[in-house]
Structure 1
Amino acid sequence: MKLVVQVKLVPDAVQASAVESTLRAANEAACWVSEVSRRHFGLKGSVRELRGLCYVELKGRGFGAQAAQHVIKRVADAYQALRAGIKAGNLGAAGSKRRVKAESKPIVFRPDAAHTYDDRCLSWNYDARTVSIWTLAGRIKNIRFACSAGALKQLAEHRQGESDLVRRDGKLFLVATVDIPEPEVFEPKGWIGVDRGIANLATTSDGDNHSGRRLGRYRRWQACKKAEIQAKGTRSSRQLLKKRARREARHATHINHKIAKTVVAVAQRTERGIALEELRGIRERVTVRRDQRARLSSWPFHQLGTFIEYKARRAGVPYLEVDPAYTSQRCPRCGNTERANRPTRDHFSCRRCGLAGPADHVAGVNVRDRARSAWVFVNMPDPVPA
C-alpha cells in the first residue's frame, strides 16, 4: 500500500535561500518548457520531443542532467493529465468556458509548486535526521528535517522512488512515498455499517455517533471572519484568506482522521469488517436549496471514506462499499421501504411494523446488512466447469 510521508525541513538562512531560489528557478523553467510544448505540440508534447527542444537550454540555465530531466517530465506529465481530464469530461463539454480556457493557453506552474527529486539529487540520513539536496548553488548537505518517530520509521523501512520538494506558508517540506506491505485481511465475524452525513459526520450500526455540529459551527465562524476580511479588498487580506482556508481544511482533515481511527480500531478489536455507502457523484445527483449549496460542497465525506479505507487496509480489516439506495428509508426489521418511514431528518419510524429510532443509526444498520450479503457474494467460489 502506497502512502505519503511529509517531513518539515529546518534549514539555516543560507541553506533556505539556496533551496528556495532553486525551487523558484525550477518552476520558472517548467513554465518556459510548458510554453515551448504548447507552441510546438499543442497538448501532445512527449518527454522525448521536449527533451530535444529544451534540454540544452535547461543545462545552460544551470540545471544538472537529472534536474533538467525532471523539469521536462513534470511538464509532459501535466499535459498528459490535462488530456486525460478533457477525455473524461472533467472540464466540461467541447466549447465550454472552462475547457476552452484550459486548452487555449500553456499550463502555468506556481513559484512554490512541488519539484521532483530522485535519489541522485536527494539523499537521506535517517539517524542524523538530515538530507543532502542538489541546488543551483551546488550540493547542500546536513539540512535538518523534523517528523514524528512513526514517520521516521516508515521512511527508513519503506521509502521508495522520488520525493517532492514544496514550499507552503513560508516553510519547506519534503513529501516522500512509502510502500507499506498490507497484512492479510481476516475473515470478519460481523460488520460495522457506517452512514456518512452532514449533520452527523459518521454514525455506525453500533449506535456510535460522530456529530458534525462542532465542525459546522467552526465553518460558520470561519465564513463570517472570511467575509469581514474579504470586504477589505487589500493584498494582505487576500493572503490572509488563503491562510484561513488552509487552516479550515486542516481542521476538517484532523477530525476525519480521528473518526476513521476510532472506527477502524473498533472493527479491529471486535474482528469485524467495515462497510460504507458508495457515494461517488452524489454532488451531481443531489439537488439542494441555494443556501445549502456551500454546506454540501464543503462536506468532506469523500476524504473520510478514503481515510477509513486506507486505515482499514493497513490494519487488515475487511472493507466494502455498498449500494446507498434507500438506506435511510428502509426498515431493517421488516424490509418496508417508503419515504414516509422518515418523517423528519433525524427520526425513523416504520409505517408497517412500528420500528423507530434515529434515522442515521437505522441507515448504518441497513449498510451493515447489505455488507453481509455482499461479502458472501464476493467470496462465493467460482462454479466448476462441466
Structure 2
Amino acid sequence: MKLVVQVKLLPTPEQASALEATLRACNRAATYASQVAFAKSLKDRNGLQKEVYADLKAAFGLSAQPVVRAVKKVVDAYAALKAGLQSGNLGPPTSKRYRKAVGTPIVFRPEAAQPFDDRCLSWQYDARTVSIWTVDGRMKGIRFVCSPDQFKTLVTHRKGESDLVRRGGKWFLVATCDVPEPEVYEPVDWIGVDRGIVNLATTSDGTNHQGRQLSRYRRWQAGKRTELQKKNTRSATRRLARRARKEQRHATHVNHKISKEIVSVAQRTGRGIAVEDLGGIRERVRLRRDQRGTLSSWPFHQLGQHLAYKAKRAGVPFLEVDARYTSQRCPRCGHTERANRSDRDHFCCRRCGLAGPADVVAGVNVRERARSAWVLVTAPASSP
C-alpha cells in the first residue's frame, strides 16, 4: 500500500533561496505547459512533452528531468480534473464552477508542490541530508528531521517520487513509501461505525466518540474568522489563512485518534470494521441555511479514509455498506419507520418496543449489513 512520509527540511539561507527559485521556475513552466495543453487539446504525456520540451528548457532554465516532471505534473492535473468532473465534484455541467473548470487552463500557484524523482533528488540517510537539483545547481547537504517511526519507514520502504513543499515559510519533503500489506484475516464478527456531527463516531459496542469539543472549537474559530474578516486588511488575511490551516490540523488530529482506537479494538478482538457509504451525502440532503456550514465542515470523509488505510495497514477487514435507513430500522424486528427515531438521540421501535441510543442502533444496523455483505464477498463463485 502507498503511504507518504513528511520530513522537515532545514536549509541554510542560500539553500532556501535556491529552493524557492526552483519551485517558482517549475510552476511557471508547468503553467506554460498547461496553457499549451489546453489550447492544443494535448492531454497525453508524450504528445505534450514533444510540444513543449524545447521551450521549457530554453525559457525557464530547467534541466531535462525537471522538464519531464513538470509535464507529468500537468498531465496528472488534467486527469484529476477530468475525474472530478465525471464524479460530479464540480456540480452539473450547467454550474458556474463546472463551466469555469472546462473553459480555462489550469494555473499552478508560484509555490505549488513540485515532484522530484531519484534523478533529481537523492537521500543520505546516515547523514540525515538530501541532495536536490535546483536552478542554481545541485544543492547538497540539506538537513532534514522527522520522527523515528517516520525515518524507519522512509529508509525501509521509500519508493518513487518525493514532493518539495513550502508551507508557512517552512520547507518539507513528502516522500512516497510502498509498504507491504499484511494478509487480511477472517473476521469473527464486525464493529459497525456510525458517523455523525454531534457524535463523530459511535460503534455497535456502544463506544461513543463525541464531537462536542471539536464543535466548540469550530464555533470559536468561526467567531475569530468573523472578527478578522471585518478588519479587511492584509495582515488579517494572512492570519485567516493560518487559522484555517490550524483548524484543519486539529480536525485531522481528532480523526487520527478516533480511527486509531477503533482499528486497535478491531485488531485485538479479531473483528472487522464496517462504515456507512456516505458518498454524495451533501448533494442528497436538504438543510436549513444555518446548518450548511456545519455539514460542509464535517470531516466524515477524512475519518472514513483514516479508518480504511489504518485497517488495511493492520490487516483488518474493512467494508462500506448501504447507509439507507440505518437510523430508522429496528435491528431486532426489521421494522423501518421515521417515527422510530423520535429525536436525534433516542430510538424506539413502534412495533417491538426496542429502545436505545439512536447512534448505537445505527451502528448495530451497520454491523448486521456487514455480516451479510461479507458472506457475499467471500462466497466462492458458482460454476456455470
Q: TM-score range by the shorter chain?
A: over 0.9
Question: For the residues of structure 1 that align with 2:150 and 2:350, how far apart are their CA atoms?
Answer: 53
Q: Secondary structure at the match of 2:231?
A: coil
TM-superposed CA distance for 1:116, in Å, is 1.2
Is the CA contact 2:276–2:366 (under 8 Å) kept in the aligned structure 1? yes
Structure 1, residues 34-93: CA drift from partner, whole Å, max 9, x if none? 223333x0x434333333332223222321110111112222322333334344444344
Q: Secondary structure at the match of 1:325?
A: coil
TM-score (structure 1 length as normaliser): 0.95
What is the aligned partner in structure 1 of residue 151 from structure 2?
A: 152
Letter in 2 for 1:365: V
Q: Go from structure 1 to structure 2 and tell me whether the alpha carbon gap of 1:379 and 1:12 turns closer, same or farther (over 3 Å shift).
A: same
Is the CA contact 1:44–1:79 (under 8 Å) kept in the aligned structure 2? no
**1:12 and 2:12 aligned:** yes
Is the CA contact 2:42–2:48 (under 8 Å) kept in the aligned structure 1? no
Q: Secondary structure at the match of 1:77?
A: helix
What is the aligned partner in structure 1 of residue 256 from structure 2?
A: 257
Q: Go from structure 1 to structure 2 and tell me whether the alpha carbon gap of 1:322 and 1:132 turns closer, same or farther (over 3 Å shift).
A: same
Q: Go from structure 1 to structure 2 and tell me whether the alpha carbon gap of 1:185 and 1:243 turns closer, same or farther (over 3 Å shift).
A: same
Letter in 2 for 1:15: Q
Q: Secondary structure at the match of 2:350?
A: coil
Question: For the residues of structure 1 that align with 2:93 and 2:287, how far apart are their CA atoms?
Answer: 27
**What are the within-5 Å matches in structure 2 for residues 314-325 of structure 1?**
314-325=313-324
Letter in 2 for 1:9: L
**What are the within-5 Å matches in structure 2 for residues 228-239 of structure 1?**
228-239=227-238
Greater displacement, 231-240 / 212-221: 231-240
TM-score (structure 2 length as normaliser): 0.96
What is the aligned partner in structure 2 of residue 34 from structure 1?
A: 34
Q: Go from structure 1 to structure 2 and tell me whether the alpha carbon gap of 1:87 and 1:323 turns closer, same or farther (over 3 Å shift).
A: closer
**1:378 and 2:368 aligned:** no
Structure 1, residues 160-188: CA drift from partner, whole Å, max 9, x if none? 11111111111111111111111111111
Is the CA contact 2:36–2:42 (under 8 Å) kept in the aligned structure 1? no
Structure 1, residues 191-220: CA drift from partner, whole Å, max 9, x if none? 111110000000001110000000000000
Structure 1, residues 301-346: CA drift from partner, whole Å, max 9, x if none? 1110110011011101111111111111112122222111111100
Aligned length: 383
What is the aligned partner in structure 2 of residue 340 from structure 1?
A: 339
What is the aligned partner in structure 1 of residue 219 from structure 2?
A: 220
What is the aligned partner in structure 2 of residue 47 from structure 1?
A: 45
Letter in 1 for 2:76: D
Is the CA contact 1:44–1:80 (under 8 Å) kept in the aligned structure 2? no
TM-superposed CA distance for 1:371, in Å, is 1.1
List gaps (5 residues or longer) in structure 1. none
TM-superposed CA distance for 1:102, in Å, is 2.2
Q: Secondary structure at the match of 1:231?
A: helix
Structure 1, residues 263-305: CA drift from partner, whole Å, max 9, x if none? 0000001111111111111111111111000001111111101
What is the aligned partner in structure 2 of residue 311 from structure 1?
A: 310
Greater displacement, 330-339 / 82-91: 82-91
Q: Secondary structure at the match of 2:187?
A: coil
Letter in 1 for 2:68: Q
What is the aligned partner in structure 1 of residue 109 from structure 2?
A: 110
**What are the within-5 Å matches in structure 2 for residues 220-299 of structure 1?**
220-299=219-298
What is the aligned partner in structure 1 of residue 76 from structure 2?
A: 77
TM-superposed CA distance for 1:107, in Å, is 1.5
What is the aligned partner in structure 1 of residue 188 from structure 2?
A: 189
Q: Go from structure 1 to structure 2 and tell me whether the alpha carbon gap of 1:295 and 1:138 turns closer, same or farther (over 3 Å shift).
A: same
Letter in 1 for 2:56: L
Question: For the residues of structure 2 that align with 1:230 and 1:343, how far apart are their CA atoms?
Answer: 40
TM-superposed CA distance for 1:382, in Å, is 1.9
Q: Go from structure 1 to structure 2 and tell me whether the alpha carbon gap of 1:139 and 1:267 turns closer, same or farther (over 3 Å shift).
A: same
Letter in 2 for 1:32: Y
Structure 1, residues 15-38: CA drift from partner, whole Å, max 9, x if none? 111111111111122222222333
Q: Go from structure 1 to structure 2 and tell me whether the alpha carbon gap of 1:47 and 1:372 turns closer, same or farther (over 3 Å shift).
A: closer
Letter in 1 for 2:101: A
Question: For the residues of structure 2 that align with 1:291 and 1:131, how far apart are their CA atoms?
Answer: 49
Question: For the residues of structure 2 that align with 1:135 and 1:284, how far apart are their CA atoms?
Answer: 45
Question: For the residues of structure 1 that align with 2:94 and 2:348, how far apart are their CA atoms?
Answer: 49
What is the aligned partner in structure 2 of residue 97 from structure 1?
A: 96
Question: For the residues of structure 2 that align with 1:217 and 1:228, how far apart are their CA atoms?
Answer: 17
Question: For the residues of structure 1 that align with 2:70 and 2:152, how far apart are their CA atoms?
Answer: 30
What is the aligned partner in structure 1 of residue 351 from structure 2?
A: 352
Q: Go from structure 1 to structure 2 and tell me whether the alpha carbon gap of 1:89 and 1:258 turns closer, same or farther (over 3 Å shift).
A: closer
Question: For the residues of structure 2 that align with 1:85 and 1:356, how far apart are their CA atoms?
Answer: 42
Of residues 49, 56, 59 in structure 1, which corresponds to 2:57? 59
| CA root-mean-square deviation | 1.5
Question: For the residues of structure 1 that align with 2:237 and 2:52, how far apart are their CA atoms?
Answer: 36
Question: For the residues of structure 2 that align with 1:193 and 1:135, how far apart are their CA atoms?
Answer: 50
What is the aligned partner in structure 2 of residue 180 from structure 1?
A: 179
